[in-house]
Chains A and B, each alone.
Chain A
Amino acid sequence: MSAKLEALSHNLQKHLGDRVKSLKIALGEVTIEVDAADYLSVMQTLRDEPELAFEELIDLCGIDYSVYANVPREGKRFAAVSHLLSIARNWRLRVRCFAPDDDFPSLPSVSSIWNSVNWFEREAFDLFGIVFPGHEDLRRILTDYGFVGHPFRKDFPISGYVEMRYDPEQQRVTYQPVTIEPREVTPRIVREATYGDVENA
């Protein structure tokens, strides 16, 4: 572990204390997990504390954990993961926050802390259905006008539910149920940890 990551994790523990539920360092990256109740205050500290100085929010994305590792999920289903960058200190941080309610995932919006999150939160709402109270303008962004559903959820089929075509009789574009079936060429496989291990066979 490099000195820089050590300094960062030390500063995180110093300024966030109990608000950090878990802190993990892997592959040269620091990940912290926070409770939804602390989310906003943690983000505020991360930006304003000069020893952390995360001036820039690089990315925020939703994640649906429902079929992780091909086994049914026991914990919470939806999370928002943000990537922060400090220009002054030249380090990065990943913050994960699980939405408390699976049926109505909701997390406070951080758009007042970093304006750049605006479209990222709209995207997470559009694709995963995570609601961000406090966001000024939470509309769909990438999908079609009038789209139904949240396409990046794992239970949403890859071919979707409706397709669009031009109807020559009505002389307009119409929607109809999809006529294609999803086809999987290479199945998704999660191997056990010892698979192909010659020594422990």
Chain B
Amino acid sequence: MPELRNFTLNFGPQHPAAHGVLRMVLELDGEVVMRADPHIGLLHRATEKLAENKTWIQSLPYMDRLDYVSMMCNEHAYCMAVEKLLQIEVPLRAQYIRVMFDEITRILNHLLWVGCHGLDVGAMTMVLYAFREREDLVDAYEAVSGARMHAAYYRPGGVYRDLPDSLPQYQESKWKSAAQIKPFNEARSGSLLDFLDDFVSRFPKLLDEYETLLTDNRIWKQRLVNVGIVSPERALQRGFSGPMLRGSGIAWDLRKKQPYEVYDRLDFDIPVGVTGDSYDRYLVRMEEMRQSNRIVKQCIDWLRQNPGPVMSDNHKVAPPDREAMKSNMEELIHHFKLCTEGIHVPEGEAYAAVEHPKGEFGIYLMSDGANKPYRLKIRAPGYVHLSAMDEMVRGHMLADVVTIIGSQDVVFGEIDR
């Protein structure tokens, strides 16, 4: 009888279901996975080393490029860590703006996730619907920061600028007549808050539509239910956080348990799974979008009524406004020092974590009193989740590997850093 050996399969790094540049060496016995060995680092850019050679403010745009589907949440953790070291207060309005954009980012991330996860598992239409809604939200990104993805909008001390009163409109062209573009421009005629208000009133209904497509879909359930079960004990042992931990039935959310910014003033619920399989994680993320929508609505209402500053007036940290800079010696000096040398952060170390759409995203900063960080460590949730891949896929079929990668919601910008 011939000797039987396990088959070794190279999955990725250019496989469309690998969500980026994941190379996985799978050991297969027939179609059953015996062992999985993820090889990462194909997108390693040494962000942490680069940050040691840049001033505090110069490394902020690098944060966008970590998890490039939830840009502002990454910036948020970085800004919070710098602010903690500097011990400065952020104006209340800026805190509300940050929370609002964090939740917009969460919706953006989960929409991309449900679209691509659907695509991996066989639900082709989801991605089209999800990207339709993402379009509105990246427009909101563009309105405040000028960029649709890599915003660099949050700054240590607040946010770069206040919300705009008007939005760019669709223009008439030889392909689209004035009558055709009119419905597109209707929601865009007011301020950014009006535009977002229109979005949050539409969005719950759209979510219902997605759920009619997926939640009770027989194929969807066959692919997700009981795939990649993680028990609560194993989830803690493997350092899970965010929807991965909540899917396993542990009600842990930093927004509730260790509230930062203004989350303790807002009303929202934390969805929790029961069995800890891929289907529960899907349900948790869908419900999170509804809750994010609620939070955005509350922020809009507050922001409408409470104008105010959006940046700290401590000019050792935040640059003074142009007008003051050009007419006032003191401000000119501050501006010059900030733009040539940057912020000086007192000696110390700080860890700041936010409830990122993927889990706990933490920034560990160490300063020796210089104008550059001494050490920056990025705690990426996807890195920890992917390290549990071997444990999660063992004993599953090859096709389930795709489901599990999708349900972990990995993005290689943050894993490889």
Contacts and interface: CB of A to CB of B under 8 A. Distances in A.
Bind each other? yes
Interface of A: 26-29, 31, 55-59, 61, 63-64, 68-70, 81, 83, 87, 90, 92, 94, 114-119, 140-144, 151-152, 158, 184, 186, 188-191
Contacts of A189: 341, 344, 370-371
B348 interface: yes
Given A116-B384, A118-B387, A152-B48, A26 B370 contact: no
Given A115-B237, A116-B387, A188-B370, A69 B40 contact: no
Contacts of B53: 158, 184, 188
Nearest to B237: A115
Interface in B64-91: 84-85, 87
B383 interface: yes
Given A90-B257, A158-B49, A143 B348 contact: no
B41 A119 contact: no
A119 B351 contact: no
B21 to A, nearest CB: 12
Given A69-B368, A90-B257, A186-B340, A59 B48 contact: no
A31 B353 CA distance: 16
Contacts of B372: 186, 188
B148 interface: no
For the complex of A and B, list the 5 residue pairs with the smallest distance between their C-beta atoms, beginning with the closest. A116-B239, A142-B41, A119-B387, A61-B377, A59-B379
A141 B22 CA distance: 12
B377 A59 contact: yes
B41 A94 contact: no
6 contacts: A28-B84, A115-B237, A141-B41, A142-B44, A184-B53, A190-B369
B109 interface: no
A119 B383 contact: yes
Contacts, number: 118
B82 to A, nearest CB: 12
A22 to B, nearest CB: 14
Contact of A69 (B236, B347, B383): B347
A141 B350 CA distance: 26
B339 to A, nearest CB: 10
A118 B41 CA distance: 16
Interface of B: 40-41, 44, 46, 48-50, 53-55, 58, 84-85, 87, 236-241, 250, 252, 257-258, 340-342, 344, 347-351, 353, 360, 362, 364, 366, 368-372, 374-375, 377, 379, 383-384, 386-388, 391, 416-417
B383 A191 contact: no
B85 A27 contact: yes
A105 to B, nearest CB: 15
Contact of B364 (A61, A70, A141): A61
A81 B364 contact: yes
Contact of B351 (A29, A55, A191): A29
B387 A143 contact: no
Nearest to B43: A142
Given A56-B236, A158-B49, A143 B370 contact: no
A195 B383 CA distance: 41
A128 B299 CA distance: 44
A58 B379 contact: yes
A155 B371 CA distance: 19
A158 B50 contact: yes
A144 B44 CA distance: 9
A186 B341 contact: yes
Contact of B237 (A59, A90, A114): A114
B369 A152 contact: no
Contacts of B379: 58-59, 83
Contacts of A190: 368-370
Contacts of B237: 55, 114-116
A68 B368 contact: yes
A116 B49 contact: no
A199 to B, nearest CB: 16
Give the residue among A57, A61, A92, A184 with the most B Cβ atoms within 10 A.
A61
Given A87-B252, A90-B257, A188-B370, A59 B362 contact: yes
